[in-house]
Structure 1
Amino acid sequence: MMAPPNVLNPNPPEFERFLYASVGLDRNGCIVTVLSTLARLGLDPWKETAELVTLGRDDARARLGTLLARFRDVPALASDYDEVAQDLSQLLPEGQTSGSLKRAASTVADGRPGTSGAIWTVLAIIFLMLLIFIVGGSGSGE
């Protein structure tokens, strides 16, 4: 049985265009992305994006504007957060157009763990067993 192609990255790829978009430059001149912004605000970027998708474009723009207004690491946002929120909301995938996107968004928003957690646990156990075997078998023996 083959694993689904998104086992190692359970997050919807449709979110990437939005999450990796720039919100502006920080005080050091570095580009700050939506993903970084949401994380710095203490939010799970994929979960928040999933919730924005399920809200619809206008409500998502309003919610995003509220979040950007709280974000202080990008000085230019102080005066332009509504315009930036408008531009960024256009990058959100349309939740109504794809049943699979809505399912993925609701799965992320609900915070239900996928099978990837179990897979990583099994891989970690295998790695530890292999490590114990290698270290335990490397003695000189008498």
Structure 2
Amino acid sequence: MDQMGQDPAFERFLRATVGEDVNGINVSVISMLARLEVDPWTEASDLAAMPDGPARKRLNTLMTRFKDVPTQGRDQGKIISTLLDLLPRKKVAASPNTPDVVARLPALAKGVPFYWYILAFLILGWVINLAKVQ
């Protein structure tokens, strides 16, 4: 982050154009958000942290509230896709086998094939049964 606390990773997104206003002037995302009285860097950070669906819905809501660019309505879906592609976003996987889940497993469990656990439990059960018999 720079000295103002504004992450430069969001610059491409915030400087991107959302369309032309009635005077023919290109309006950037940062200008749109400021005119909507939304903190641009906070909003960019929030959007970057969201999965695609909620981020798309949130940006659509903001752009729908923004009436200064009359031409954006026709291409709003395309504009939203382009803008979201400019954010430094982490891909949210639908699978429970993401690296985050694997990283949270105990150190002993990492890399140990499942059949070793089954074998260990079978041997443990066998030893317990032997102890009960004697």
Q: Same fold (TM over 0.5)?
A: yes
Confirm or deny that 1:83 pairs with 2:78. yes
C-alpha RMSD over aligned residues: 1.8
1:57 deviation in Å? Answer: 2.7
- Cα deviation 1:62-84 (Å, max 9, x = unaligned): 21111111111001112322221
Confirm or deny that 1:45 pairs with 2:40. yes
Confirm or deny that 1:70 pairs with 2:98. no
Distance 1:26 1:17 in 2: 20
Task: For 1:21, give the aligned amino acid.
Answer: A
Moved beyond 4 Å, runs of 4+: none
Distance 1:66 1:83 in 2: 14
Identity of aligned residues (%): 43
Does the 8 Å CA contact 1:20/1:34 hold for their aligned counterparts?
A: yes
Give the structure, 1 or 2, with the largest relative contact order (CA under 8 Å, sep 6 or more): 1
Structure 1, gaps ≥5 residues long: 98-142
Name the count of aligned residue pairs: 92
Structure-to-structure mapping, 1:1-142, within 5 angstroms: 6=2, 8-95=3-90
Structure 2, gaps ≥5 residues long: 93-134
- Cα deviation 1:101-141 (Å, max 9, x = unaligned): xxxxxxxxxxxxxxxxxxxxxxxxxxxxxxxxxxxxxxxxx
Larger-gyration structure (1/2): 2
Secondary structure, aligned partner of 1:72: coil
TM-score, normalised to structure 1, is 0.59
1:56 deviation in Å? Answer: 2.3
